[in-house]
Amino acid sequence: MENVKQRSPRWQIPFFTIWAGQQVSLIGSHVAQFALVWWLTEATGSATVLATATLVAILPGVILGPFVGALVDRWDRRKVMIVADSFVALVSAWLAYLFWNGSMSVWHVYVAMLARSLGGAFHWPAMQASTSLMVPKAHLSRVAGLNQTMQGALNIVGPPLGAILLGVLPLHGIMGMDVVTAAFAISPLFFVVIPQPQKTDAVDSPLLKSSLGQDMRAGLRYVWEWPGLRAALAMAMVINFVVNPAFSLMPLLVTGHFEGGALQLGWLESGWGIGMLLGGLLLSLWGGFRRRVYTSLAGLVLEGMSVMLIGLAPGNGFWLALAAIFVAGFMNPLINGPFFAILQATVAPEMQGRVFTLAGSLSQAMLPLSLAVAGPVADVVGIRAWYVVGGAVFALMGVGAFFVPVIVNLEQNHNGHAGTVEPQLAVDKGVAVAAD
């Protein structure tokens, strides 16, 4: 039985009021992020600077994940989202001031990206944990599909919109726009009630209240003692390690193998985004197979085969690679969405913050490790090998998972826990493990 307050029978109005505000804020955040990266590119022209900025942006989620999750599970999640969004808005206001008076430096961008990532590290698990308390279980897959659709749409329109706005607005104006869009996310949170997990007597008692360290260990133990979740997270880590470098090296594949330029790279990026948008839209309308894990595993196999095809495409077969990346993008929401919904429905509400952030930490930790290996290996065996080998591992893990009972029975095999985590089994290309 769920240890939460009863959902409103008209859940759509409060949930989508908050959801819509969050999507407006995400648009502003994507444009601001694009503007910051472009400013770094123009100001320094250094790949090392860009790589450092990427590393700085993922560190809070990797290092602080379990600690943040324990705090999110202790605090009122609505207040966590208000404070986190307000903090990120203040950082954007600070950047607007620095751009306005001409005192911006590279280290300011590093600090800002670190701070924005810290705010996102609190906001994302609080929002996802709140979703499962506001949305009926029967509709979780459709909501996950909508989220994936919006991710795909932002991948398509975000960069060109950022480029257009950079042409008509000064940088301090773009940062100011991010502050305004953040207000759309914050305002509804003052008026919409978000259910909270009901506290037990042990939690309310000063004598029995657990320490933060005990809460963190409880989250780790919760995941470790659930074989299906442990296996899903292991799959996510392996897939992110073997496939993400392929997408990071895509510009070199375009120029070196397909002998293309920025236009061809743009086509591939758009192909992924359009596929992801349509796949998310399908999931939001269809909801997936009745046994949702089958939707995800079938998607794993098909996306893995598509990634392989990108690497196998001949130098004159660019359009084959474009079709393959479209299919890969289309399958991505069909993998992550159902797993997201399964775990939203089964992880105990009072554990969701910890499980979410632990999953995010493990997945994001693969990015710097895989990139450190990718460069030297690609120099020896070639870039295409990452697509072929990574895609093969991707697909084989999907096939093999059909024969692993703890994964196939993930919805039933959860140690009696009831209640979310997005292990991001699919490649993280264009998908954020940690959100805004």
Domain locations in the chain? 12-194, 212-408
Q: Are 110 and 50 in contact (CB under 8 A)?
A: no
Q: Please tell me the distance from the alpha carbon of residue 180 to that of residue 42, in angstroms, as a whole number.
A: 26
Instruction: Find where tokens 């990346």 sit.
Output: 325
Q: Please tell me the distance from the alpha carbon of residue 186 to that of residue 64, in angstroms, as a whole number.
A: 24
| Intrachain domains 12-194 and 212-408 with the same fold | yes
What is the per-residue DSSP string for 306-335? HHHHHHHS-TT-HHHHHHHHHHHHHHHHHH
CB-neighbour burial class of residue 205 (10 A; exposed 0-12, middle 13-18, buried 19+): exposed
Give the Cβ contact number of residue 415 at 10 Å. Answer: 12
Give the Cβ contact number of residue 114 at 10 Å. Answer: 15
Class assignment of domain 12-194?
mainly alpha
The secondary structure of residue 139, as a DSSP letter, is G
Q: Please tell me the distance from the alpha carbon of residue 436 to that of residue 433, in angstroms, as a whole number.
A: 10
Right CATH for 212-408 from 1.20.1250.20, 3.30.70.270, 1.20.1560.10, 1.10.10.10 = 1.20.1250.20
Q: Please tell me the distance from the alpha carbon of residue 419 to that of residue 287, in angstroms, as a whole number.
A: 19
The set of long-range contacts for 199-202, using a CB threshold of 8 Å and a minimum separation of 24, is 200/3
Q: Are 293 and 342 in contact (CB under 8 A)?
A: yes
User: pLDDT in tens for each of the 436 residues of the chain?
Assistant: 344 444 555 888 889 999 999 999 989 988 888 888 788 877 886 656 776 777 787 777 777 777 787 888 888 889 999 999 999 999 999 999 999 998 999 999 999 999 998 998 888 888 878 888 888 887 887 888 888 788 778 877 777 787 788 888 899 999 999 999 999 999 999 998 888 776 544 444 443 456 767 777 887 888 888 888 888 888 888 888 888 777 777 777 887 888 887 678 778 878 888 898 899 889 888 888 888 889 999 999 999 999 999 999 998 999 999 999 999 999 998 998 888 788 777 877 777 778 777 777 777 778 777 777 776 777 788 788 889 988 999 899 999 999 999 888 887 755 544 333 334 455 554 333 333 3
Q: 174: which residues sit within 8 A by CB, 6+ positions away?
A: 31, 32, 35, 162, 165, 166
Q: Please tell me the distance from the alpha carbon of residue 146 to that of residue 19, in angstroms, as a whole number.
A: 10
Tell me the CA distances in angstroms from 373 to 60, 144, 396, one per residue in order.
Answer: 22, 32, 22
